[in-house]
Amino acid sequence: MRCIAWDIGAIFQPTMSPRCASRWTPAMPGGQLRATMDEPDPNFMRLALAQAALAEAAGEVPVGAVVVRDGEVIGAGYNHPIGAHDPTLHAEIVALRAAGRHLGNYRLAGCDLYVTLEPCAMCAGAIQHARIRRLVWGAADPKTGACGSVVDLFAEPRLNHHATVVSGVLADACVQTLQAFFARRRAEARARRQGGRTAQAGEADDTPEGARSGNRA
């Protein structure tokens, strides 16, 4: 049984293939925390949250994902459609592509995908095409969630492949990550509006209030 451990002041060494390790960040949430692979879902979700932090650092909505096979991360990714000018670059898609390159196969047999936000219809389709064995997600997405919140593509009997779906893993941390991001964005928008009014009194201001929770761009 592999062991994953976090300790204050220690550098966390996740079970991760060398190709993925360069994309991992040690800025893990949680403080003192020690866990083993007896609880793999929270541990791998924390790695997905670390990917979400990379999205936030890039100015994107913080959603992260990892693909795991035999207890090892073989693909990781974060949401960045805005910076890449690519509407398909949700965290799940990025992680699936990385795992496919790692395995040299577009079918990701025996692989599990962890993502901090309920997948949308696009990502649910990609997950099914990739033959992901098990999908684990954190926060529900009432706007575009395709695992039960808006539609449930994993419960559709006419679709060929059905992954096992586990929801709500570290949901509080995943929700908090998104809520904090959007709160900051709204505060920044308010500050811009107030600054604009000071500089240009009386001029109309159409600064957007910020994206809704669940919108990844």
> Which residues contact Zn ion by CB under 5 A?
90, 120, 122-123
Shortest Cβ 146–Zn ion spacing (Å) = 8
CA–CA distance, 62 with 80 (Å, rounded to integer): 9
Structure tokens at 21: 């390790």
Candidate list 60, 92, 188, 209, residue with the active-site label: 92
Q: Which residue, 33 or 175, is less far from Zn ion as judged by CB? A: 175
Shortest Cβ 162–Zn ion spacing (Å) = 18
CA–CA distance, 34 with 73 (Å, rounded to integer): 19
Q: Which residue, 4 or 55, is less far from Zn ion as judged by CB? A: 55
Our measurement of the distance from residue 139's CA atom to the centroid of its chain's CA atoms, rounded to an integer in Å, reads 10
* Alpha carbons within 13 A on the beta-carbon side of 203: 12
Shortest Cβ 160–Zn ion spacing (Å) = 20
Q: Which residue, 30 or 148, is less far from Zn ion as judged by CB? A: 148
Contact 181/56 with Cβ under 8 angstroms? yes
CA distances from 130 to 70, 91, 188 (A): 17, 15, 39
Shortest Cβ 117–Zn ion spacing (Å) = 8
Q: Which residue, 43 or 90, is less far from Zn ion as judged by CB? A: 90
CA–CA distance, 185 with 208 (Å, rounded to integer): 10
Active site residue 92: yes
DSSP secondary structure of 31-60: SSEE--TTSHHHHHHHHHHHHHHHHHHTTS
Supply the residues annotated as catalytic: 92
